[in-house]
Chain A
Amino acid sequence: MPASASLEADGLVAGYGEVVALHGVSISAAAGAITAVLGANGAGKTTLLRAVSGLIRPRRGRVLLGGEQVAIRSPEQMARTGVAHVPEGQAVIAELTVEENLRVGMMARPGRRSRSDRAAALDQAYQRFRPLAQRRRKLAATLSGGERQMLVIARALTSQPRVLLLDEPSLGLAPRVMAQVMDLVLQLSRENGLTIVLVEQNARSALAVADHGVVLNLGRVVASADAEALAADVALRHHYLGF
Chain B
Amino acid sequence: MTEFLQFTLSGIVFGMIYAAIALSLVLIWRGTRLLNFAQGGMAMFTTYMAIEVVYRTGSYWAGFVVALAAGLVLGAVCELAVIRPTLNKPPLNAVIVTIGLLILLEGLAGIFFGAQPRSFPAAFSIVGLRVGGTPLGVSRFDVFVAGAVLVTTLALAAAFRYTSAGLRMRAAAFNATVARLSGIRVARVITVGWALAGLLGALAGVIVSPSTFLDPNSMTRSSSSGSPRR
Q: How far is the CB of A17 from chain B (nearest CB, A)?
A: 12
User: Does A225 make an interface contact (CB < 8 A)?
Assistant: no
Majority-rule SS of B interface residues: helix
B residues contacting the other copy or chain, number (CB 8 A): 17
Q: In the complex, which of the residues B170, B171, B181, B186 contacts A53, with contact meaning CB atoms closer than 8 Å?
A: B181
Residues of B contacting A193 with CB < 8 Å?
A: none
Q: Are A107 and B174 in contact (CB under 8 A)?
A: no
List B contacts of A85 (CB < 8 A). Answer: 181
Min C-beta distance of B161 to chain A, whole Å: 10
Chain A: CB-nearest residue to B180: A75
> In the complex, which residues 145-199 of chain B have their Cβ closer than 8 Å to any Cβ of chain A?
164, 167-168, 170-171, 174-175, 177-186
Closest to A155 in B: B182
Q: How many A-B contacts at CB < 8 Å in the complex?
A: 68
Known contacts: A75-B181, A87-B178. The answer to whether A107 contacts B168 by CB under 8 A is yes
Task: Answer whether A79 and B171 are a contact pair too, CB < 8 Å, given A55-B177, A87-B177, A91-B177.
Answer: no
Interface size class of A (residues with CB under 8 A): 20 to 34
Give the chain A neighbours of B179 by CB distance below 8 A: 93, 104
Are A93 and B175 CB-contacts (below 8 A) given A75-B180, A107-B183, A159-B182?
yes
Report whether B167 and A103 are in contact in the complex, using a CB–CB cutoff of 8 Å.
Answer: yes
- Nearest CB in chain B: distance from A79 CB, A: 4
Q: Which residues of A contact B164 (CB under 8 A)?
A: 103, 107, 110
* Interface check A10, CB cutoff 8 A: no
> Across the interface, do A104 and B167 meet the contact criterion of CB distance under 8 Å?
yes
Cβ-based interface call for A226 (8 A)? no
**A94 on interface, CB distance cutoff 8 Å:** yes
- The interface residues of chain B lying within 8 Å CB-to-CB of A53 are 181
The answer to whether A104 and B182 touch across the interface, beta carbons within 8 angstroms, is yes
**What mask results when residues 184 to 217 of chain B are scored 1 for a CB within 8 Å of chain A, else 0?**
1110000000000000000000000000000000
Q: Is the CB of A109 within 8 A of B183?
A: yes
Give Cα A137 to B175, complex, Å.
19
A84-100 CB mask vs B (1 if < 8 Å, else 0) is 11010001111110001
CB-CB nearest in chain A for B188: A76
Which of B174, B182, B186 has a CB less than 8 Å from the CB of A108? B182
Partner of A80, one of B167, B171, B174, B183: B183
A104 near B180 with CB under 8 A, answer no
Does any Cβ of B come within 8 Å of A124's Cβ?
no
Indicate the member of A80, A93, A155 with the most B CB atoms within 10 Å. A93
Q: Which residues of B contact A93 (CB under 8 A)?
A: 171, 174-175, 178-179
Q: Is the pair A76, B186 in contact by a Cβ cutoff of 8 Å?
A: yes
The yes or no answer to A74 lying at the interface (CB within 8 A) is yes
Is B171 touching A96 in the complex (CB atoms < 8 A)? yes
Q: Name the A residues within 8 Å of B185 (CB-CB).
A: 76
Report which of B181, B183, B184 forms a contact with A55, defined as CB distance below 8 A: B181
A58 within 8 A of B: no
Chain A residues in 8 Å Cβ range of B183: 76, 79-80, 107-110, 159
Q: Residue-by-residue, is A154-183 near B (CB-CB < 8 Å gives 1, otherwise 0)?
A: 010001000000000000000000000000
A155 to B170, CA, bound (A): 16
Q: Which residues of B contact A103 (CB under 8 A)?
A: 164, 167
With A76-B180, A104-B184, A107-B183 known, 17 other A-B pairs at CB within 8 A are: A75-B181, A76-B184, A76-B185, A76-B186, A87-B181, A91-B177, A92-B178, A93-B171, A96-B170, A96-B174, A104-B179, A107-B164, A107-B167, A108-B182, A108-B183, A109-B183, A110-B164
List 4 A-B pairs, minimum CB-CB distance, nearest first.
Answer: A108-B183, A79-B183, A75-B180, A95-B174
24 contacts across the A-B interface (CB closer than 8 A): A53-B181, A55-B180, A74-B180, A75-B177, A75-B180, A76-B185, A76-B186, A85-B181, A91-B175, A91-B178, A96-B171, A96-B174, A100-B167, A103-B164, A104-B171, A104-B179, A104-B184, A107-B167, A107-B168, A107-B171, A107-B184, A108-B182, A110-B164, A155-B182
